[in-house]
Amino acid sequence: MSTIKQHLPETVAAIDMGSNSFHMIVARLEESGTLSIIDRLRENVRLGGGLDEHGNIDKAAQKRAFQCLETFAQRIRDLPQSAIRVAGTNTLRVAENSQTFVAAAEDILNHPIEIIGGREEARLIYLGVAHGLAAGEGKRLVIDIGGGSTEFIIGRGMKPSRRESLYTGCVSSSKRFFKKGKISKKRMDAAETEAALTLFPQAADFKAGRWDEAIGCSGTIKAIANIVQMEGWCQDGISYKSLLKLRSALIEAKHEDNLSLAGLTENRKPVIAGGLSVLLAIFKVLNIEQMQVSDQSMREGLLYDLVGRITHQDVRDASVEAAMSRWGVDVEQAKRITNTVENLCHDACEQWSIDVEHIKPLLRWASMLHEIGLQVSHNNYHKHGAYILQNADMQGFSRQEQALLAALVLSHRSKFRTDAFKPLMKPFVKPGKHMCILLRLAVLLHRGRTDQSIPAIDITVSNKDINLRFPDNWLNEHSMTLADLINEINYLDAAGYKLSFE
């Protein structure tokens, strides 16, 4: 344990690139593993509001985002890469030009941006909220209304048991139903109905009776709580009656410019009607009478998850183990492949100048999961495995990480599909192909699926040239492996790589 403490970074940071606001939180990491917040920054970027009719983030929204990130970048410039997490949510999940935007944003931050799925966002939200609450025995319903999506989580203590993410939020609702700032009873009714219809298929799992306490978090809910309390409509948290009073006040104002409510900031005015309509629908459909409000949310969850990775308590390890169990992976074969891959990687990664800290764990997980598709079919199981890894709900993994796992599994046998790596985030493209070669070689060496030991193999690499040196006469005594290696020469040659062995 003392070794881990010696290597803990003094400061860690998380950036949450939401659909409405961008947040950054910086904290001091104590030797005990606890966090002490030392800085918070927030900018109302309205990224989701910048989606045009073609689903692209427009230039104005991009400009706001990049200006914000330039400010954030100055704050984290001196921090090590391993002490920072940056995550994008709904708008970056759905925008047509997301890849181009993310590449430019990464250049500003000098750090990769993870685009996380809705359920992973929900897990991080719950993690952040749970850390800010006193330990309790009851079940909690946690709700976060973001700019483009709303997350629902039921959990007990630190563990979520049910997570869902729905495509409705304060920005998307305001943009659709309250155009040009106009507010009316008819518009509010339509917005609430739309939100209720979106929630209805999931309502049975989240209704009152399945939890003991409802907790809201993040910008929309915190803003509404601030208004209803400062207006004197509710003494604690948010009540359903106080929401109805706020609804009447908005309708009476008729336009966002006419709103004059205690606690309502100028930045919140353009999205307050949309946010309120979503929250009202949630209260009605789930039969909520009273909601408490948490100051913590996804950005704190990102930090706590980062600390888990730093202290070797990575939730991704548990996700991989759960996937192996669910899909009946041959554990012994997976261990053989993984051990050989790591041995090859030890020498090859340095020669290829690969960022081992970020890539090696993903190669290890791909090695453990490379046969996950066998439960679907023996024919083309690598294709089935790639589909599962691309689309499964895997806690802790970003979408880009799952895409890399899928590409590695897809190309671990037969034809080397280099095209599968082209759509990946830039830091994964070239290293991903190199890692795939190591996985292919390990699978080839263990084709017999026995515990027979593999000899020490010297590997020398230089760009696209790979040379393997086996002990004297070993290949002559293992004719099947020799035949496989000859076939592999042809597969790699078609992909532009040159394999040689002696």
Q: Using an 8 Å Cβ cutoff, are 148 and 132 in contact?
A: no
- Block residue for tokens 């499964």: 392
Residue 292 has pLDDT above 50, yes or no: yes
At 363-403, the pLDDT tens digits run 999 999 999 999 999 899 999 999 999 999 898 999 999 99
Q: Are residues 343 and 476 in the same domain?
A: yes
Q: What whole-number distance in Å separates Cα of residue 282 and Cα of residue 13? A: 32
Q: Is the pLDDT of residue 465 over 90?
A: yes
Computed over every residue of the chain, the mean pLDDT equals: 92
What pLDDT score was predicted for residue 246?
97
Q: CA–CA separation, 269 vs 273, rounded Å?
A: 8
pLDDT category at 453 given cuts 50, 70, 90 is confident
What's 439's domain CATH number?
1.10.3210.10
Same domain, 70 and 214: no
Residue 391, both tokens:
């689309």
Structure tokens, 79: 């921090």
Strand, helix or coil at 385? helix
Instruction: Check which CATH number belongs to the domain holding 18 and give it.
Output: 3.30.420.40
Tell me: the pLDDT tens digits for 319-373? Answer: 999 999 999 999 999 999 999 999 999 888 889 988 777 888 999 999 999 999 9
Residue 434 CB-density burial (10 A; 0-12 exposed, 13-18 middle, 19+ buried) = buried
- pLDDT, position 8: 78
289 and 372 housed in the same domain: no
- Report phi then psi at 454, rounded to 5: -95, 135
Domain of 105 in residue numbering reads as 2-117+301-307
pLDDT given for residue 426 in this prediction: 83
Same-domain check for residues 347 and 491: yes
Same domain? For 161 and 242 the reply is yes
Judgement on whether residues 181 and 261 belong to the same structural domain of the protein:
yes
Residue 28 sits in the same domain as residue 65: yes
| CA–CA separation, 141 and 154 (whole Å) | 5
Last residue of a domain, one of 307, 342, 362: 307
Residues 170 and 91 in one domain: no
Note the pLDDT tens digit of each residue in 120-160.
Answer: 999 999 999 998 876 567 899 999 999 899 999 999 988 99
pLDDT digits (tens, 9 = 90+) for 16-55: 999 989 999 999 988 776 788 999 999 999 999 899 999 9
Same domain, 236 and 346: no
Q: What is the largest CA-CA distance in the chain?
A: 89
Does residue 263 sit in the same domain as residue 160? yes
Do 331 and 453 fall within a single domain?
Answer: yes
Pairing state between β 139-145 and 213-217: parallel
Asked if residue 446 lies in contact with residue 374, where contact means CB atoms within 8 angstroms, the answer is no
Which of 307, 329, 364 terminates a domain? The answer is: 307
Q: Output DSSP code: residue 440.
A: H
CB-based burial of residue 419 (10 Å sphere; 0-12 exposed, 13-18 middle, 19+ buried)? exposed
Q: How many domains, the chain?
A: 3
Give the tens place of pLDDT for each residue, 227-257. Answer: 999 999 999 999 999 999 999 999 999 999 9
The residues pairing with 291 across neighbouring beta strands, listed in sequence order, are 238
Report the pLDDT value the prediction gives residue 135, as an integer from 0 to 100: 59
Give percent of the chain above pLDDT 70. Answer: 98
